[in-house]
Structures are given as C-alpha cells and as structure tokens.
Amino acid sequence: MKCEKHQKPLEGACQWCGKQLCRHCVGKRWGNKLFCVECAQSSVGAIIERKQLEEIRKNEQVETKKRDIRKIFEDY
Ligand SMILES: [Zn+2]
Ligand SMILES: [Zn+2]
C-alpha cells in the first residue's frame, strides 16, 4: 500500500484520526505512535506535547532518584 498523496510506502496510521500515513504525511512522532500533520497542528498536537513533557519530567525524576541512591553508596 502506498500513500495517495506522496506515492510512498505507508508507515502506519494516525493515532488520532486513523488516516494512513507515509513518512511525508507524519506531522508528529511520539515513541512509535504517529500523528498526521492535520492532527499535529490541531489541539491534539498540544496534548501530545504536554504528554511528552510529562514523560520527560517523569524520566528526569527517575534519574534524580537513581542519582540519590548512588550518592548514598558513595558516602560509604
Ligand atoms: Zn490525524
Ligand atoms: Zn504521504
């Protein structure tokens, strides 16, 4: 199957509207989830960005915790 617009192989469907996307149609990637350009530019894009930030922040917290544990061991 190929994208009708770009004649490129499809990479997957938009997680929001379900449209089939080739790499030129992808507006946003989040992990292995794809979103089309239209959805990425709409309010969905803002939601995705907020979720991405939340995830980054969560990962940072985990990193900080790891660092704290390391510090405890370094004190010994
Ligand atoms: Zn979409
Ligand atoms: Zn396309």
SS3 64: helix
Separation of alpha carbons 65 and 75, rounded Å: 16
Q: What is the pLDDT at residue 12? A: 95
| Ligand 1 centroid, distance to 61 Cα (angstroms) | 31
Number of domains in the chain: 1
pLDDT of residue 76: 63
In a domain, 2, yes or no: no
Within a domain: 5: no
Residue at 36 is within a domain: yes
* 11 CA → ligand 2 middle, Å: 9
Smallest-distance ligand from the CA of 7: 2
Are 39 and 45 in contact by the 8 Å Cβ rule? The answer is yes
**Residue span of the structural domain in which 62 resides:** 10-74
pLDDT tens, residue order, the chain (76 aa)? 899 999 999 999 999 999 999 999 999 998 889 999 999 999 888 988 898 899 999 999 999 988 888 888 887 6
- pLDDT attached to residue 37: 94
39, 57 contact by CB (below 8 A): no
Q: Is residue 4 part of a domain?
A: no
* Residue pair 39/27 in contact by the 8 Å Cβ criterion: yes
